[in-house]
A and B are shown apart, each in its own frame.
Chain A
Amino acid sequence: EAGVTQSPTHLIKTRGQQATLRCSPISGHTSVYWYQQALGLGLQFLLWYDEGEERNRGNFPPRFSGRQFPNYSSELNVNALELEDSALYLCASSLAAGQGKPLHFGNGTRLTVT
């Protein structure tokens, strides 16, 4: 069974540009989560999608947005990029949302903003 896949692996953008990151969940998983991991830091919750709807978002500005498609894949968009947006962006998926269902992570997209 394929795990969570993310693309691209690396992305280099300049300040002010927009970035689009993509995620394909494990087959059968309907929930997709996005986390930001700045260099050497822990994981900060960004967004949670389930059944095509945004269910929760973390403490990030509105220029961080995303969506979930009917096939449960997801994309994360970051507008007006700032230098501090440089980080590893991790996508995770789980079976239907709720307690007791572990998240399974992809290997992330490394975004570098110059």
Chain B
Amino acid sequence: GESVGLHLPTLSVQEGDNSIINCAYSNSASDYFIWYKQESGKGPQFIIDIRSNMDKRQGQRVTVLLNKTVKHLSLQIAATQPGDSAVYFCADYLTGFQKLVFGTGTRLLVSP
């Protein structure tokens, strides 16, 4: 996917709220999905992954949901904290092309 640069989608939440970040992927052949968190000046940090034979996976304070029918992925963050403020990217693994394709990114802003 291509980011729209300065028009990066932004989600603003209050500390303690639950956050839901959505992502659409385009290739029905994708069979592995990852969420990354990128803080300013740093590289993307692995959060959680899910394979296409699952529709839900939980981690610590995070849950990823996969809907293959509509090619949609979401990341849920429980009890969002100011330290969760970052840009979040979904990525899907393109079987046959052997590369990870990144989505546009969503900026999460958490206010105290």
Q: At the interface, yes or no: B69 with Cβ under 8 Å from chain A?
A: no
User: Which of the four size classes fits the interface of chain B?
Assistant: 20 to 34
Contact, CB under 8 Å: A99 / B89 = no
Q: At the interface, yes or no: A79 with Cβ under 8 Å from chain B?
A: no
With A45-B101, A48-B99 given, is the CB distance from A40 to B5 under 8 Å? Answer: yes
Contact, CB under 8 Å: B98 / A55 = yes
Identify which of A35, A44, A45, A102 gathers the most chain B CB atoms within 10 Å of its CB.
A102
- B52, chain A: closest CB distance, angstroms: 9
Contact, CB under 8 Å: A42 / B2 = yes
- B37, chain A: closest CB distance, angstroms: 11
Q: At the interface, yes or no: A106 with Cβ under 8 Å from chain B?
A: yes
User: Which of the four size classes fits the interface of chain A?
Assistant: 20 to 34
Complex: chain A residue closest to B31, CB-CB: A99
Q: At the interface, yes or no: B8 with Cβ under 8 Å from chain A?
A: yes
Contact, CB under 8 Å: B102 / A43 = yes
Other-chain residue from B6, B32, B45, B93 in contact with A105 (beta carbon distance below 8 A)? B45
Q: Which residues of B contact A (CB under 8 A)?
A: 1-3, 5-6, 8, 31-32, 34, 36, 41-46, 49, 51, 89, 91, 93, 95, 97-105
